[in-house]
Amino acid sequence: MSAKHIRNTGDLMRFRASIRIDCPHCAAARTLSGLETVTALGVCSFEEAEARLKCGRCGGKGARVSVLPPV
Ligand SMILES: [Zn+2]
Distance (Å) from CA 61 to ligand 1 centroid: 8
Distance of CA 22 to the CA centre of its chain: 9
In sign, the C-alpha dihedral spanning 36, 69, 26, 61 is: negative
Q: In this predicted structure, what is the pLDDT of residue 40?
A: 95
Q: What is the pLDDT of residue 32?
A: 96
Domain boundaries, the chain: 3-68
pLDDT of residue 1 exceeding 70, the answer is: no
Tell me how far the alpha carbon of residue 32 lies from the centroid of ligand 1, in angstroms: 16
From the CA of 1, how far away is ligand 1's center (Å)? 31
Q: Are strands 29-33 and 64-68 parallel, antiparallel or unpaired?
A: unpaired
| Beta pairing class for 29-33 and 18-22 | antiparallel
Å from CA of 31 to ligand 1 middle? 14
Residue 26 has what pLDDT?
A: 97
C-alpha to C-alpha distance for 11 and 54, rounded to whole angstroms: 22
Residue 59 CA, ligand 1 centroid: distance in Å: 6
